[in-house]
Structure 1
Amino acid sequence: MIFTILAAFGKTDHSDADEEVEILRRIKARDEKAMAELYELYNGLLFSMIISVVKKKEEAEDVLQEVFVTIWEKAPTFNEERGNVYSWLVTLTRNKAIDRIRSKDYKTQKKATQDVDAPDFFLEGNKYDPLKTTIYSDRTELVKKALSEIPESQSEVLKIAYYEGLTQREISEQLDIPLGTVKTRMRQGMIKLKDLLGEYISYND
Structure 2
Amino acid sequence: MIYLCRHGQTEWNRERRLQGQTEADLTPLGRLQAAAMADLLHDLIARDPSAVWRIVASPLRRARDTAQAIADRLGMTVAFDDRLMELTVGQWEGRLYADVQRENPEAFNSPEWFFTAPGGETYEQVMARVSDWLAEQATEPERRLIVVSHGIAGRLLRGAYAGLSREATLAQDVPQDALYRLHGGQIDRLDCEPVEEPAC
TM-score, normalising length from structure 2? 0.29
TM-score, normalising length from structure 1? 0.28
Higher-strand-fraction structure: 2
Higher-helix-fraction structure: 1
Larger radius of gyration: 1
